[in-house]
């Protein structure tokens, strides 16, 4: 990714005030996290929704460990929560994820 590509991505998916993006390096500082372009395109937004934070804490996952299709499903569940008033727990994501895979008849639900 070039600097121009990063600027284009930020124009398309703006960051909240006070947040910044930079090109990848070999490290992240204590207050940074690395994310992939595809994560942004599939629904990753800052700041993270409270439910997403609980999800990552519950499964002890880093943000980069959820594949782009997983971000889409997580965003979909968050949307359902926001529009229905339902109060899910972190395990609801996995139930929804595997039910969708089962209904579609997908043998490999890794993304």
pLDDT, one tens digit per residue, over 58-81 is: 888 887 788 777 888 888 878 877
Residue range 82-94: mean pLDDT, rounded: 72
- How many angstroms separate the CA atoms of 27 and 24, rounded? 8
Q: How many CA atoms lie within 13 A of 26 on its CB side?
A: 0
Phi, psi of 61 (to 5 degrees): -110, 150
Mean pLDDT in residue range 101-111: 47
Q: What is the C-alpha separation between 103 and 64, in angstroms, rounded?
A: 27
pLDDT digits (tens, 9 = 90+) for 28-54: 777 777 777 887 887 777 788 888 888
- pTM as predicted: 0.60
Check residue 13 and report its DSSP letter: S
């Amino acid at each position: 990714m070039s600097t121009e590509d990063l600027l284009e991505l930020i124009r398309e998916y703006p960051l909240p005030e006070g947040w910044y993006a930079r090109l990848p390096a070999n490290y992240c500082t204590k207050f940074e996290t690395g994310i992939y372009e595809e994560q942004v395109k599939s629904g990753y937004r800052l700041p993270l929704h409270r439910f997403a934070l609980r999800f990552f804490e519950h499964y002890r996952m880093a943000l980069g460990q959820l594949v782009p299709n997983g971000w889409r499903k997580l965003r979909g569940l968050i949307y359902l929560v926001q529009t229905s008033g339902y109060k899910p727990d972190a395990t609801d994501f996995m139930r929804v994820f595997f039910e969708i895979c089962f209904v579609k008849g997908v043998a490999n639900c890794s993304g």
